[in-house]
Structure 1
Amino acid sequence: MYQGRRTTLCLDVMDYATTLEVVRRAEDFHETFDQARRNARFDGLASARREACDGLSPEAIALFRALTTLAVLTARPDLAEHFLDGNLSS
Structure 2
Amino acid sequence: MKELHIIAVVYAKAGREEELCAHLSAVVAPSQNEEGNLRYELLRDQDNPLRFVFVEQWSDAALQQKHHVEGKHIQEFQAHAADAVEKVEVYRLDRIA
TM-score normalised to structure 1 length: 0.37
- State the structure with bigger RCO (CA 8 A, min sep 6), 1 or 2: 1
Higher strand share goes to which structure?
A: 2
Higher helix share goes to which structure?
A: 1
Larger radius of gyration: 2
